[in-house]
Structures are given as structure tokens and as C-alpha cells.
Amino acid sequence: MKRRLFLGLAGGALCSCGEKSSEYSWKGIVFGIPVGISFRNVTEKTAEDLGQQSLELAQKYEACFSLWDENSELSLLNREGVLPSPSEGLLDCLKIAKDFHAKSNGLFDPTIHSYLEWSKGEYVAGRIPDDLEAERRRKLVDFSRVEISEDHIKLQSEMSLSLNALVQGYVTDRVCEFLEEHVLSALVNFGEYRVVGSHPFDVEVEGQTIPVRHALAVSSGGGQRLSATASANHLINPQNGVSPDAKRVIAIETRKAVNADAIATIVALGGKVPEGFGAVTTWEF
């Protein structure tokens, strides 16, 4: 998936607690990254059971969105160019992406994936991406041209897409919705953070402690450099093909993890916080 920074609970709360404590942490792996849940006021067995159920829920979405699994819905769509009868989860994510694409004036664009993959291939082959070819390929980046309906999803020729800029937040939200029916207080980290209940949790980002009350997402170009000598990274502005400074780290807190996830990407690319998503707090490191 996308960039992974050092994100942890201040004070090491994601480590397992002692037998006498009512705070327990569960850990797992989904989307190829470590995930975890820190529970308050539950038994150890409850923490393990709910953690496993949360993992199983996330794995259902992984089968939709994963770019590593060649049989996922998204991989099939990118390979074939069309996907009949898409799942509810995939449609939901694409509709959210459409909203962010419109409200960011095209800065948030999942079809940048095709340009990213071409750029990566050029650097791997030891070539500097050709300017004319880069311009041609940027013209193919246009999420508004993706056909989305309950019957099918269709891409234009040479187009592919990734939902990495919001899917971890989306899955984090789904896990939180499940846990809200079972616990009063927890911090979910399924790629992005979101709090269950009203009690805040301290999260450490780049050595600074942030008291999180809602959902937190972090974006940086430092997670995936395309070249050891060039500034290109996995964050690419679709309007000019330029990557932001890999050392610049943006953290966003808002009500939903999926919104924090997408907004963090937009701001990292140099855009403004879109309107219509409630209170948004921004940190820059």
C-alpha cells in the first residue's frame, strides 16, 4: 500500500499489557502492513476475539482493493480494463474518490497509478523518464473518465487506478463501526488511526505526541522513493508530474479516517483542505 511512517502510541500502549490490566492490545497484518487495536476495559479474551473478527472483516476488503493480489477486484479491473458487477465496497470507495477528485479540482486522482507505474519502470530500467512521454501519459490521468455503475466499472485505454490514498482509512472506519457495537473505548490502527468512544489516545508522529480524539492520517513521500538520485516518489501531482518533498510530513485529524486519509494526500501534494468534511486539524513536520 502507500507510505508507512513511524506511527505509534505514546508510551508504548500497543505493547501487550500485564494480566492484571484491563487494557489489551491485538496485532495482525493486512494489506501487507502491521495493524493493531488498543482496547480499554475489556478482558484479554475479548480483545483477542474482537481483534480476529476485525482482521477477518478487513481481509474481505483486501480482496477488493489489494494491488498485490492478482485476483482482487482492483487487480482484475486494471488488467482487463472493465469489471462487471463490482462489489458494494469497491463502488463505495470509488464514489468517495469521485467526491475528493471533484473537490480538489483533480489533484486527488486514483488514475495517477498508471503514470506512477510507468515512472517506476523507467527508473528501475536505469532511465530518466522522457519528458514528451511523461506529458503524454499525464494526459491519460483523469478519474472523471472512469465509468462507474452498479453494472460495471470501465477504464480508458492505458489507464489503471489505485485506491491506496483512501482505502486504509476506509477499512479503519469499517472496523471502528464494527467495534462500536462491542466496546466503549479503543484505538484502531488499520493503516490510519481512529478512536472508538470519547476517550482520546496519544499517538506519536515524527517524535511529536498528538492527542487523537477522532481519526488521524499521515502522508509523506518518504515512504517510497522511485530513485535514489531523483526526487520522484509515490506521491505525484497529476497536473505536473512533480513529487512533493519526501521529507515533508502531513498529519490530518478529522471525524472519519477515510476523509483524513484522502485529505492528507491532497495537502501533501500542495492542495488546500477541501470544504464539506467538518472540522479538520492539520500538522506539518
Stated as kind and residue range, the H or E segment containing 34 is strand 33-39
The domain total for the chain is: 1
244 falls within a domain:
yes
DSSP string, 215-279: EEEEEEGGG-BS-SSS--BS---TTT-PPPPTT-EEEEEES-HHHHHHHHHHHHTT-PPPSSS--
Write out pLDDT tens, residues 179-221.
999 999 999 999 999 999 999 999 999 999 999 999 999 997 6
For residue 135, give the CATH number of its domain. 3.10.520.10
1 falls within a domain:
no
Q: By the 8 A CB rule, do 240 and 276 touch?
A: no
Write out pLDDT tens, residues 58-69.
999 999 999 999
pLDDT level of residue 22 (50, 70, 90 thresholds): confident
pLDDT at residue 8, as a whole number: 52
The answer to whether the pTM exceeds 0.85 is yes
pLDDT of residue 6 exceeding 60, the answer is no
13 falls within a domain:
yes
253 falls within a domain:
yes
2 falls within a domain:
no
Write out pLDDT tens, residues 251-268.
999 999 999 999 999 999
Write out pLDDT tens, residues 223-252.
666 665 566 778 999 988 888 887 889 999
239 falls within a domain:
yes
| 123 or 55, which is more confident | 55
What type of residue is 238?
Answer: P
- Nearest CA to 137 out of 166, 158, 162 is that of 158
Taken as a whole, the chain contains a residue count of: 285
Domain extent, residue 136, equals: 7-284
For 104, the grid coordinates are: 480538489
How far apart (Å, rounded) are the C-alpha atoms in residues 264 and 143? 19
